[in-house]
Amino acid sequence: MRSQTLGLLVVLAGCAGDDPKAPTDTTDTAAMGLQIAGTWIDAFGGTHTIDETSWTQDYGYGAPWVFHVAAYDNDQAWLVAENDVANGYNASLWSRFDWAWSGEVLYYCQSAFDAPDQQSARDAPPPDVSDLDVAGCGGFPWTTLSPSP
């Protein structure tokens, strides 16, 4: 009887994840990859190279600024990254980048740049997406990004 009970437990454990009615998690946007990954040019001529692990800003002088991506959410259009130790300002602190689309134009706002830790950056108040062109990013316009040629 003991071996039959053990056998039944093994069979039941093997079927635990096979319920076709079980809800599926479709909110994991990380599985889809970062929506804004690519190489972009901003309104000031800087090149932004963005992928799931880093956001690098290069303006052609000095060292590029690198932000190491720790988390992102495509649905809510934000990412949180640790500022590289070699960055000229706020080295080793944390940043939050928010993005928004207006038609086919991509905008971004670095809504936190000196947070003490990842959670503080993530919890930073989001910028105003209804005011992309004037003052929605901490009193300034959001920055436009165009695909790199």
To 5 degrees, how large is the angle CA 14–CA 32–CA 16? 10
pLDDT at 9 over 50: no
For 132, other C-beta atoms within 10 Å of its C-beta total 21
For 69, other C-beta atoms within 10 Å of its C-beta total 19
pLDDT at position 26 is: 32
* Residue bearing the bigger pLDDT, 114 or 10: 114
Looking at residues 116-135, what average pLDDT do you find? Answer: 98
Residue position matching structure tokens 């800087």: 46
User: Where in the chain are the domains?
Assistant: 34-147
CA distance 80 to 9: 43
CA distance 1 to 124: 59
CB 132 within 8 A of CB 100: yes
pLDDT at 50 over 50: yes
pLDDT at position 7 is: 39
pLDDT grade, residue 32 (50/70/90)? confident
